[in-house]
Amino acid sequence: MKIIAVGRNYIDHAKELDNPVPDQPVIFLKPDTAILKDNKDFYIPDFSKDIHYECELVVRICNEGKHVSKKFAHKYYDAIGLGIDFTARDLQTQLKSKGLPWELAKSFDHSAVVSPLIPKEEFEDLSAIKFSLTKNGEVVQSGNTADMIFDIDTLITFVSGYITLRKGDLIYTGTPAGVGPVIIGDKLEGFIENRPMFSTHIK
Ligand code: MG
């Protein structure tokens, strides 16, 4: 499986990092070795002094899809979860300033926390899902899929025009404002509506 992640999909987050609001989705990949599940601890890697959390709604692909039209995009995902796109912000800033790909800042081991996935039928309205992240018990990010620049169906259509989607792939749909650093001892907890989805200790 692969992880397809979307950058700058919320206007407030694009602005907080001084990035332009994109006119088409910004896409990058994480390998399957990035997955961190079952509430396992996250260990800060030695190559970064500024690891940031980015809490994101995660979509699971359920069918192989290539050039999926928007009308049929909903048939290509079956479950929703919550995750963190951990980012080595110092490394990303360094790479960006040189005009280089951010790959290493995003794709490192265990950089993709993922919760258990909930069948999408359990949601009344996929275009208005509220989610939040707390750090040590305080809300640091809260988002609503209504505020996505590119909604789930649009992302599936866009990505599948370039990259074949396969059953089991995950799409990280972008983070709202409020990203920030973690230090050893922090505890991150993610919620969809009021439902606890994951809990990650930083080591
Ligand atoms: Mg992200």
What residue segments make up the domains of the chain, in order of their start? 3-201
The pLDDT value recorded for residue 69 is 98
CA of 53 to the centre of ligand 1 (A): 8
26-74 residue pLDDT tens: 999 999 999 999 999 999 999 999 999 999 999 999 999 999 999 999 9
How many Å lie between the centroid of ligand 1 and the Cα of residue 194?
22
Query: Looking at residue 103, what is its pLDDT?
Result: 94
> Rounded distance, CA 90 to CA 9, Å?
21
Predicted structure pTM score: 0.96
Instruction: State the average pLDDT for the chain.
Output: 96
Q: pLDDT tens digits, residue range 80-120?
A: 999 999 999 999 999 999 999 999 999 999 999 999 999 99
Residue 38 to residues 44, 116, 140, 142, 150, Cα–Cα distance (Å): 18, 8, 22, 22, 29
pLDDT higher than threshold 90 for residue 21: no
Contacts of 33 (CB under 8 A, 6+ apart): 109
Which fold would CATH assign to domain 3-201? Fumarylacetoacetate hydrolase; domain 2 (3.90.850)
Q: Is the pLDDT of residue 14 over 80?
A: no
Tell me how far the alpha carbon of residue 160 lies from the centroid of ligand 1, in angstroms.
19
Percent of the chain past pLDDT 90, that is, above it, reads 93
